[in-house]
Structure formats: C-alpha cells, structure tokens
Amino acid sequence: MFTFAFAAVVLLLFIWRIRGGYACGLMQEVVNLLSGVISLACVALVFLAVTSAMNKSTHILAACIIALIFLGIFFKLCRLIFTPLLAVGSITIVSGINKLLGAVMGAAEACLLTYFSYKALAHFGIYVF
C-alpha cells in the first residue's frame, strides 16, 4: 500500500516539475535553484550566528557575518549575470530550446527529490521498494 502511495507521489512530482520546468525554461530554473540554495545557506548562517551569539563565541559570529556579506555580493553578481541571459532566453528561436531544457532540468530535480526522499524514508526504516 505504501509503495503505491510513494509511486503516485513520485509520478505527481515528476509531472509537476517537468511542467514547471517547461513553463519557466532552463535559465529561470537555474536562477530559481541558485536562489533557493543561497537562501538556504543564509538561513543556516543566521541560525549559526544566533547560536554563536548566545554562546558568546564572537569569532564564529564574525565569520557568519562575513559569510553573509559574501553571499549577498555573490547573489548580486549572479543577478547581474543572469538578467541578460533571461532576456536571451525569450528570443523566439532560443525559447523552444530553453523550454525543452527546462523540462529536462525539472525531470532532473524530480529525480533528486525522489532519491533524497527515498533515502530519508529508508533511514527511518520505511522501505518503499
């Protein structure tokens, strides 16, 4: 029973990510993925900074603040790079290839999400296959 539920969720995940990747295109998918990774890193650094401030560990707090500043600069540089690339992706000839590669990127994201969820379920002793 649980195997069929997991398979249905995986199928819906693939449909959702392929459709979303096709709608956005490869360039926007890369921007969204990079933005998500940077946001996750910022949240982790903020939590680390708060815990180091509570433990009165100033060297870790200073390193977290410097890392947050560097992540902000890196995000701005990526935004400057990807803005013209997104404009190029809207050209008619490139648009079809961009959408097709976006669907492939969406399928790759679905594969990774399926793999990590399978490993997480196996870690907790829930075997689906």
pTM of the model: 0.75
Write the pLDDT tens digit of every residue in 25-59: 988 888 888 888 999 999 999 999 999 999 988 99
Q: Decide if pLDDT at 8 tops 80.
A: yes
Write the pLDDT tens digit of every residue in 70-90: 999 999 998 898 888 888 877
Q: Decide if pLDDT at 127 tops 80.
A: no
CA distance 112 to 98: 21
Q: What is the CA angle 82-27-8, rounded to 5?
A: 140
CA distance 82 to 91: 15
Q: Decide if pLDDT at 11 tops 90.
A: yes
